[in-house]
Structure 1
């Protein structure tokens, strides 16, 4: 999590500092799912964001995770987290607002080592939207004091990987291999900071390898499981 650019997706909450999340862009639309309002520089990008949000919400709902209040989403050139600086996206818990980078900027924002550089930008966009929406719905459904940062990132990474689809997911898993069933020892903030794609791949494999991945996530939300896993 060091440096001017967060190489993964920005961390969970804005807990301090003045937030600018939610600044209006040229096109602001209410999605077909009335929970979401999207602001972007073009109607095309706003529509793509709405589609990604609806799809990600459906995936989260399969694990019983639903929004409890409206969420606004801004698609901007380069999101700037108040604490960590320029990033690909972040969720501001105080304002129920998500900022995600516009796909046109991914070539400049994604580090050279990030395997997502080789994916179509629309696929990366869907993953980023899903990641930040997962952060938002964790905040809606859990006592934030109970959920460690590793828990937030684990859940967000699972739904990010879900959003990529099988072909892109296989490419990411091949680029940064982890154990086929994942490792609980790797669900920790140190791995996320140093190797965010390894963290995400491991989260996916752990979720897939679990007898009931959704139950694992619900246990994290309910505080029955602490992270790093014990």
Structure 2
């Protein structure tokens, strides 16, 4: 069965055009600029998965055109960036991620292509929630909370389980632990806390919907 899947993937890859021009993902308004057909295909597969994932968990559908550019490098250990108001995403290529990913990262156990696709979902989430209500100058915690939740939800159940491991099993994560200081100083710690907090909700995807519509605020006014 695995050999059949690999053969099918190779045949589909060979049917894709060379990447001299942007590729538009089938059935979407998403265009991809990539050096290889394989990388473009990974983006389109991740985007298709994100459509179903968003619909099942309270994240708005993206209806406007978006562009994703695959590049060799961003700032240190940053692999994706959504440019607010520009409908434009930059993501480091899978080969670039393989060279730059830290061995002690919480994502180090993931195959590179899987990790790359999860980053695509993360950045698409930022695009999807750009117009979500925010009563403050910035709702960074809410934005990153939703992006990390969707990123990890895009993985297999066994992979998701690795993010749920705790030194103190059963301890509930408080909202105060989800703050900008942790996000900026230790983004991996922030991501794990986000996932634990999400999975500890009685209705996790319902909670996502409440963040999206502004019923639940994870951010505070900063003076």
Aligned pair in 2 of structure 1 residues 203, 41: CA closer, same or farther (>3 Å)? same
1:137 partnered with 2:128: yes
Q: 1:60 aligns with which of 44, 48, 54?
A: 54
RMSD, aligned α-carbons: 2.3
Q: 1:75 aligns with which of 70, 74, 87?
A: 70
Q: Which residue of the partner structure matches residue 149 of structure 1?
A: 140
Instruction: Please give the TM-score of this superposition, normalised by the length of structure 1.
Output: 0.77
Preserved contact between residue 27 and residue 41 of structure 1 (Cα < 8 Å):
no
What is the CA-CA distance between 1:199 and the residue it aligns to? Answer: 1.6
Segments of structure 1 that go 5 or more residues without pairing to the other structure are 1-24
Show CA shifts across 1:94-151 (max 9, x none).
2101111111112332234312223200110111011101111010x41355561000
Aligned pair in 2 of structure 1 residues 162, 78: CA closer, same or farther (>3 Å)? same
Instruction: Please give the TM-score of this superposition, normalised by the length of structure 2.
Output: 0.79
Q: State the number of aligned residues.
A: 199
Show CA shifts across 1:8-56 (max 9, x none).
xxxxxxxxxxxxxxxxx74421101322111101111101110001101
Matches within 5 A, 1:1-230: 26-64=20-58, 65-79=60-74, 87-139=78-130, 141-143=131-133, 146=136, 148-174=139-165, 180=170, 181-228=172-219
Segments of structure 2 that go 5 or more residues without pairing to the other structure are 1-18
Q: Which is greater in Rg?
A: 2
Preserved contact between residue 27 and residue 42 of structure 1 (Cα < 8 Å):
no
Preserved contact between residue 157 and residue 204 of structure 1 (Cα < 8 Å):
yes
Aligned to 1:126, the other structure's residue is in SS state: helix
Question: Which gives a bigger RCO, structure 1 or 2 (Cα 8 Å, sep 6+)?
Answer: 1
Structure 1, 149-158 or 116-125: larger mean CA deviation: 116-125
Preserved contact between residue 97 and residue 116 of structure 2 (Cα < 8 Å):
no
Aligned pair in 2 of structure 1 residues 159, 178: CA closer, same or farther (>3 Å)? farther
What is the CA-CA distance between 1:179 and the residue it aligns to? Answer: 5.7
